[in-house]
Amino acid sequence: MDRYWLLTSTFYGNWLPGDPRGFVSRVRDSRPEDPCTPVRKEHDAPGTPYDADLPGLYHSAQQSLRGAPIRIDAEQAHVLLKQFQETAAYRGWQLLAVAIMSNHVHWVVGVNGDPDPTKILGDFKAYGSRALSARWRKPASATWWTYGGSKRKLGDGQAVRAAVAYVRSQFEPLVVWLAPELI
C-alpha cells in the first residue's frame, strides 16, 4: 500500500459544531497577518487543540437538524462492519482496523496510489448507508451520516501503529475489528 489513513465519521446529528465536548469543523478564524479578516479554518492537525464549546454555533447546528440524532445498535454495527470489509476488498484497499460506536466510526485503511481521502470515506459511508437502509428504513433525516468527516494521513509505520492502537482502545465500542495480521 502506498498511503494509509485514519478516517472518522459521525452518525447524523452527533458531535455537532460547537459541541461542549469538542469538535472538528470549519470555524471562523483570523489570519495572523490581518486579524480583522475572518476566514474559515478546520483545527484537526494531530496533537494540536481542537475547538470546543461554542454555544451559539451548537444551538444553530441543533436547530438545523432534519431529524433526530442517529445512534446505531450492535446488530447495525455488525452489518456495517461486513459492508466495510466488502467495500475495502472490492476497491483493493487494506482495511487494518475498524471501531464502530453508537455515534461514530473510525477506520484505518491503506490504499494504492494517492486517491482523495474524501472519496475513500465517501465510499465507506455510501455503501454502509445502502446496507443499513436495506435492512432498516431510511432515517427521517434522509441520511445516516454527518456530512464530511476527519481524514488524517498516516505518514509512516509508527503513525499507522498508533492509529490502530487508538481505534482498538475506543470507549464503549459496539464492534472493534482488527485485520488478522495485526492480532
Whether residue 157 is found in the same domain as residue 135: yes
117/148 same-domain check: yes
For residue 8, give the CATH number of its domain.
Answer: 3.30.70.1290
Assigned domain for 21 exists: no
Residue whose cell numbers read 446529528: 13
pTM (predicted TM-score): 0.83
Alpha-carbon distances, residue 79 vs 120, 139, 147 (angstroms):
19, 16, 21
Q: Nearest CA to 139 among 16, 13, 9?
A: 13
Residues 52 and 122 in one domain: no
- Top-ranked range on mean pLDDT: pick from 13-27, 92-106, 138-152: 92-106
In the chain, how many domains are there?
A: 2
Residue with cell 475513500: 120
Average pLDDT of the residues in 167-177: 97
Predicted confidence (pLDDT) per residue in 17-76, tens digit? 777 776 666 666 655 566 666 666 665 555 566 667 677 876 787 778 788 899 999 999
Give the tens place of pLDDT for each residue, 149-168.
999 999 999 999 999 999 99
The mean of the pLDDT values for the chain is 88
The reported pLDDT for the residue numbered 35 is 62
Q: What is the DSSP string of 75-115?
A: HHHHHHHHHHHHHHHHHT-EEEEEEE-SSEEEEEEEESS--
Residues 147 and 98 in one domain: yes
Q: Are 88 and 33 contained in the same domain?
A: no
* Over residues 119-145, mean pLDDT: 96
- Give me the phi and psi of 117, to 5 degrees please: -65, -25
